[in-house]
Amino acid sequence: MRTQPNISVDLHCHSTVSDGVLTPDAIATRAFERGVNIWALTDHDELSGQALARQTAEQHGMKYISGVEISVTWAGKTVHIVGLGVDAQDTGLLEGLRQTRAGRADRAKRIGSNLERLGMPGAFEGALTYAGNPQLISRTHFARYLVEKGFCPNVQAVFDRYLSDEGPAHEPMHWAKLEAAVSWIRSAGGIAVIAHPGRYSYTETQFGAFFDVFKDCGGLGIEVVTGSHSTEQFGHYAQVARDYGFLASCGSDFHSSKESRHDLGSLPALPSDLKPVWQELV
């Protein structure tokens, strides 16, 4: 059942400012052409695409919600926290994101060395050519280079073989603390949302603790319908939203038409009894 039959909402995707392949204006236009009415660009750890995304979205008549996806380490694992409706000029948030990005360049060199050891030379320089923003060099840029060089047939295969969190070329990071990321988002006037919870390999007990800590520090939302979830997971995280009183969010996590399973605006609507996060923001 659709909540609002005429509304298409997509509050999670990436541009060339992080690891997407379309510029902020091109992805805004793609969202519009795919029928999205309420849209957010949520680049990793970076707000520099927000002005162009908003301007283009508003020219197309879409409602724009500013966004960012912050890399966080909690219980030794990486989780992503989306901030929606933040002030993209907020100095505290900008400084927090700058700190979060800071270790990426050194980590990329270490990933490059790991890949060289595994028989794939030149990957650091190669990945840099794919990074529209060198400060935001990410595993996705390495994956695109390794596909170009024929080491793997596609980006997913690179993650499966080398670059997943358990993969032989991965370099663990100490990203932002959960409490800090939520606090930056709140101080910038935004709502903190747990991104794609179905991707995290926590135990049931750890998930309970994670949701409790997130809520205690002022986190309000959770992605229920995302390109990273199966249909069963839509149901599971809908129940988590009900149990914890979280606002529900929905987004494709689109990066590229070649790589992403779900295009902008292509996901089903949220279950109608959930409270949509965008109702607080538009």
Q: Which is nearer to Mn ion, 90 or 253 (CB)?
A: 253
Q: Which does 139 bind (CB under 5 to 8 A by kind): ligand AMP, Mn ion, none?
A: ligand AMP
By the criterion CB under 6 A, which residues form the site for ligand AMP? Answer: 19, 44, 71, 138-140, 156, 159, 164, 255
Find the binder of Mn ion among 8, 11, 19, 224 (CB under 5 A).
19
Of the chain, the end-to-end C-alpha distance in Å amounts to 22
Q: Least CB distance from residue 44 to ligand AMP, whole Å?
A: 5
Contact range with Mn ion by CB under 5 A, out of 58-66, 80-88, 167-175, 272-280: 80-88
Task: Name the residue nearer to ligand AMP (CB basis): 70 or 248.
Answer: 70
**Segment contacting Mn ion (CB under 5 A): 13-21, 119-127, 235-243, 263-271?**
13-21
Q: How far is the CB of 273 from Mn ion (least distance, A)?
A: 26
Nearest Cα to Cα of residue 119 among 89, 146, 98: 146
Residue at shortest CB range from ligand AMP: 138
Task: Tell whether residue 223 is a contact of Mn ion (CB under 5 A).
Answer: no
Q: Rule CB under 5 A: which of 177-206 touch Mn ion? A: 195
Indicate the residue among 34 and 242 with the shorter CB distance to Mn ion.
Answer: 34
Binding partner of residue 156 among ligand AMP, Mn ion, none, CB cut-off 5 to 8 Å per kind: ligand AMP
Q: How far apart are CA 236 and CA 211, in angstroms?
A: 14
The span from the CA of 21 to the CA of 15, in Å, is 6
Do 178 and 217 form a contact (C-beta atoms < 8 A)? yes
| # binding residues, Mn ion (CB under 5 A) | 5
φ and ψ of 247, to 5 deg: -70, 150
| Torsion (CA) 76, 80, 85, 87 in degrees, nearest 10 | 60
Q: What is the DSSP string of 227-260?
A: TT--HHHHHHHHHHHHHHT-EEEEE--B--TTT-
Cα-Cα-Cα-Cα dihedral sign, residues 224, 259, 131, 15: negative
Least distance (Å) from ligand AMP to the CB of residue 6?
31
Query: Which residues lie closer than 8 Å to 168 by C-beta, 6 or more apart?
Result: 114, 118, 162
Residues within window 251-280 making contact with Mn ion, judged by CB under 5 A: 253
Smallest separation (angstroms) from ligand AMP to the CB of 59:
28
Residue nearer to Mn ion on the CB measure, 139 or 186: 139
To the nearest 10°, report the CA torsion of 139, 144, 150, 152.
Answer: 50
- Sheet with 9-10: strands ordered across: 9-10, 38-39, 63-64
Shortest Cβ distance from residue 265 to ligand AMP (Å)? Answer: 19
Chain residues that interact with Mn ion, rule: CB under 5 A: 19, 69, 80, 195, 253
